[in-house]
Structure 1
């Protein structure tokens, strides 16, 4: 039985040397075996020790033994991924993981890292986005390529089903770790995996393919909206001039404001914050009209004829 990851990598243009995010689980094990076989001597395994459970030390030991058997160097980064009060533990762990993977890659002079996320992960991501009322950016799901912290991350397995990877691992008798946290139903992704996906498979057998098509369509729409917003922002200036903002229709202005805040300041306003900002801009017909609205971790303020965002403490 062939490793499905072999076929996925065969049609993927790699930039070598290459990092592989390796947790020791079934999916990343299949990816590491395929990468090491395809590009011998050009692959580095990158492992994140989260420090969230006792088994983390055992995971690291397993990864070290597996990489030694494959002749692949292993680089380990330790991180405290505990979440702050009110913060999603899944989001906190994800941010810490990407930052650590990027740091490990940079330390080894690697510009590209591959991730083992597959079609089932994509479906889970889309369902989480839907549950949060996400717009087209969220409904675009996980991109096949993205850049974070100066490193390019790739997902060459997004068209593969998790079952195909697990079947190969079992048939080949390759050892891997099972993270006990994956069975913890306190986490949204685990509830979707355990409770929702089996029902989807029964009701809509082709849901992975149709969800992937929807994600691609949303990604196209997201790119078009971003291009339109970039053009409007270029006309409005940076910081954007209120006169130019007020000349735009409301939805086009909303698109510009989201793009401005995300691209230039790395923040995303809530729907309520965005609606409040839109209302204030619409009402800003006099020089003395004040705008000071909390957005994400800072605030948007009017200064003269322009808008500014400041990373500051919340408004009193």
Structure 2
């Protein structure tokens, strides 16, 4: 068993709980992102804390800087998952626990709402998922940040505070600093309600995925244009989204998908051309089927 340990309050509470539950069988995984000067201090604290409690610690230093046109948060998150998966495999751990909590889940849902997200976004963060060949779990999604911090402080356990968490240039931090307190004033105890909505969205998405698999069994993968045209526009949309996401790891925007559905509807002759940019590649007609051509 492994715990992603940043040395912050949330991962500290999780690491201690896991250590008590599986004493001697837990390894702490600390990723030094190289993105801020304080990161050296985080690593030093992690070494001292794990040595004090007799917990094995592995540290990996990475450069998580983002590329042109790439979200800094997304780039750092993806690099972190890749690194954690590699560290877990090296440690012989098949499961990594993450410290996201009820506040993180609420922020995720509010962020998705602000972006006009569909069900996958509104479903928030799953409790369990697989990435890069490793299982990850979030056991604290029903626990608030305040509860975790109160427990640590009452027990006399130390942790570090990441100074970037108060930088309101980042959208999630603005939600945390401005929107969440306002929701607390208007709707006290709203976090479990947002979590419930996220679970409803996740259940609905599961049903849509089941329907997409049934429809793709009818249309084939990649889907044939003629078979798609026998479905309602809504089912075409659902099937194409599922095909693109699961076969190619890309997501079409609402505008791109609407245009693609219009082109599928107009495709009545053998020579009708379909060529539409989706993500960084193109959906094209090849014979009687749609195909996705990734960037060269």
Per the normalisation by structure 2, the TM-score is 0.98
Mapped pair 1:181 → 2:161: no
Using the alignment, how far apart are the partners of 1:282 and 1:89 within structure 2? 39
Residue of structure 1 in register with 2:269 after alignment: 286
Mapped pair 1:154 → 2:154: no
Alignment of 1:47-86 (within 5 A): 47-86=30-69
Mapped pair 1:246 → 2:229: yes
Secondary structure, counterpart of 1:253 in structure 2:
helix
Using the alignment, how far apart are the partners of 1:145 and 1:124 within structure 2? 18
Using the alignment, how far apart are the partners of 1:224 and 1:78 within structure 2? 41
Using the alignment, how far apart are the partners of 1:112 and 1:194 within structure 2? 32
Secondary structure, counterpart of 1:127 in structure 2:
helix
Aligned with residue 99 of structure 2, among 116, 132, 151 = 116
Aligned with residue 237 of structure 1, among 220, 241, 259 = 220
Secondary structure, counterpart of 1:309 in structure 2:
strand
Q: How many residues align?
A: 296
Aligned with residue 289 of structure 2, among 306, 309, 313 = 306
Residue of structure 1 in register with 2:70 after alignment: 87
Aligned with residue 18 of structure 2, among 24, 29, 35 = 35
Mapped pair 1:133 → 2:116: yes
Aligned with residue 145 of structure 1, among 95, 120, 128 = 128
The Cα of 1:87 is off from its aligned counterpart by 2.1
Aligned with residue 213 of structure 1, among 196, 201, 212 = 196
Secondary structure, counterpart of 1:239 in structure 2:
coil
Secondary structure, counterpart of 2:28 in structure 1:
strand
CA RMSD of aligned residues (A): 0.9
Using the alignment, how far apart are the partners of 1:60 and 1:307 within structure 2? 49
Using the alignment, how far apart are the partners of 1:195 and 1:173 within structure 2? 30
Using the alignment, how far apart are the partners of 1:109 and 1:43 within structure 2? 11
Using the alignment, how far apart are the partners of 1:79 and 1:224 within structure 2? 39
Secondary structure, counterpart of 2:27 in structure 1:
strand
Map Cα deviations across residues 258-287 of structure 1 (whole Å, 9 max, x no partner): 000001111111111111111111111100
Aligned with residue 107 of structure 1, among 82, 90, 94 = 90
The Cα of 1:83 is off from its aligned counterpart by 1.6
Residue segments in structure 1 that go unaligned for 5+ positions in a row = 1-17
Residue of structure 1 in register with 2:29 after alignment: 46
Using the alignment, how far apart are the partners of 2:268 and 2:200 within structure 1? 39
Residue segments in structure 2 that go unaligned for 5+ positions in a row = none
Per the normalisation by structure 1, the TM-score is 0.92
Using the alignment, how far apart are the partners of 1:147 and 1:308 within structure 2? 27
Using the alignment, how far apart are the partners of 1:147 and 1:274 within structure 2? 27
Secondary structure, counterpart of 1:308 in structure 2:
strand
Residue of structure 1 in register with 2:155 after alignment: 172
Using the alignment, how far apart are the partners of 1:297 and 1:79 within structure 2? 26
Using the alignment, how far apart are the partners of 2:233 and 2:61 within structure 1? 46
Secondary structure, counterpart of 1:67 in structure 2:
helix
The Cα of 1:85 is off from its aligned counterpart by 2.6
Using the alignment, how far apart are the partners of 1:110 and 1:243 within structure 2? 47
Secondary structure, counterpart of 2:158 in structure 1:
coil
Alignment of 1:1-20 (within 5 A): 18-20=1-3
